[in-house]
């Protein structure tokens, strides 16, 4: 009886030691509206009102300020607590291309908002978005 209990205990411990894969963060399809903010200790930036639409694995969006940020069209992929945008738009050279919605952002949620954050050195880009309810 002691052997069975010991074996059972060892099996339980060995299974509890396995790494658990994080379930992918779900980011429901739809239209999100909110604000974009860039911050840096070396410069002052304004915020902008943005709209981001996610459909299937495609994204598109707009900003109320021309190319700040530059949200074009492309595809995206969510893995764990990160989202990677692959922008496929054609852009001209007269603006800061680091403002293009492209690359990997961390995803978090707070107060019914989705927050996308990307850090580049001392510069931080943040999108605070709220999913819009579909009208019937």
Mean pLDDT of the chain: 86
Question: What DSSP string describes the chain?
Answer: -HHHHHHHHHHHHHHHTSPPPPPPPP--SEEEEEEEEEEBTTB---EEEEEEEEETTEEEEEESSTTTTB--EEEEEEETTEEEEEE-----SSS-GGGBS-EEEEEEEETTEEEEEEEETTEEEEEEEEEPPPP-
Q: Where are the domains of the chain?
A: 24-131
* 8 Å CB contact between 73 and 59: yes
For residue 131, the tally of other CB atoms under 10 A from its CB is 18
Residue 10 — very low, low, confident or very high, per pLDDT cuts 50/70/90?
Answer: very low
Domain boundaries 24-131, corresponding CATH code: 2.40.128
What are 59-83's pLDDT values in tens digits?
999 999 999 999 999 999 999 999 9
- Res 25: pLDDT: 56
Q: Which of 5-9, 53-57, 86-90, 101-105 has the lowest mean pLDDT?
A: 5-9
pLDDT at 17 over 60: no
pLDDT at 41 over 80: yes
pTM across the whole model: 0.80
């Amino acid at each position: 009886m002691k052997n069975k209990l010991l074996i059972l205990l060892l099996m339980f411990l060995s299974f509890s030691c396995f790494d658990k894969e994080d379930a992918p963060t779900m980011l429901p399809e739809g239209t999100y509206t909110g604000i974009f903010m860039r911050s840096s200790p070396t410069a002052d930036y304004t915020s902008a009102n943005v709209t981001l639409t996610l459909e299937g694995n495609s994204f598109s969006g707009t900003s109320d300020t021309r190319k700040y940020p530059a949200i074009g069209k492309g595809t995206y992929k969510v893995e764990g607590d990160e989202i990677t945008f692959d922008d496929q738009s054609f852009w001209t050279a007269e603006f800061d291309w680091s403002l293009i919605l492209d690359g990997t952002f961390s995803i978090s949620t707070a107060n019914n908002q989705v927050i996308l954050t990307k850090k580049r050195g001392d510069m931080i880009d943040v999108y605070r978005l709220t999913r819009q309810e579909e009208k019937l």
